[in-house]
Amino acid sequence: MQIGRKNRAAGWPPDCAFRQQPQRFARRVNAQTQGRLRRAQGQPVPAGTSARTLARLQELVVTHDANQLVVLGDFWHGLDGLTPALLDAVARFGERIPTVLILGNHDRRIHPPGLPLQAIRGTLPLGPLTAGHEPPPPGTPGFTLAGHWHPAVLIGSRAGDRLRRPCFVRYPHALVLPAFGGLTGALTLRRSDLAHQNAEVAVLGDGSVHWLPR
């Protein structure tokens, strides 16, 4: 399995044994008019965030010749953002890119009917893997790709600065992906806690993914 690159997705490399249907994975897309919502609250946010997010997703799918996109939940954020323009853009995206949406906690109450997305409650078996929204408890059999947290860690520099970077978190039983869309926030995890949980961390850099020492 290949994780990351700059655009924060996970998928299958050419030499992976399980490749009946090449997949791309993304989590917490928050495809909606977040700029509109935050501008209404007096926060300066550039327009077109959702359009850029959908364009990045489509570029990844086409570049990696994937047959299907699997979204690990939290595609939507709130009812106020479900504008006709956004729903039309998502419908056109779903017609071009076969997409499975595993409904996250933000999606379950507000997912609009009639869109060309395959919405799933619960988990989706994918060969030796399971795709889900929330990471399963430690000790769960198999290996799950999950979202929900939009994790990040703090990294110190030689100059004494501390940077917060989105990250992948790999447990023995699960891989938690960082958020894909913009303006999603992040849950900052303590690296010492992750080490005690036998977890490894990979941060997103400029066009690459870097595994951190424990």
Q: How far is CA 72 from CA 4, 123, 197, in A?
A: 15, 9, 23
Task: State pLDDT tens for residues 146-202.
Answer: 999 989 999 887 777 888 899 999 999 999 999 887 656 788 999 999 999 999 999
β-strand partners of 23: 68
One-letter amino acid for residue 89 of the chain: A
Going by C-alpha positions, the residue among 192, 144, 188 that lies closest to residue 170 is 144
User: pLDDT means per 10 residues in the chain (214 residues)?
Assistant: 41 34 59 41 52 91 93 88 91 96 93 96 95 95 94 83 91 94 78 93 87 90
Domains with residue ranges and CATH for the chain: 2-211 (3.60.21)
The answer to whether 203 touches 155, Cβ cutoff 8 Å, is yes
Rounded to a whole number of angstroms, the CA Rg of the chain reads: 17
pLDDT of residue 8: 45
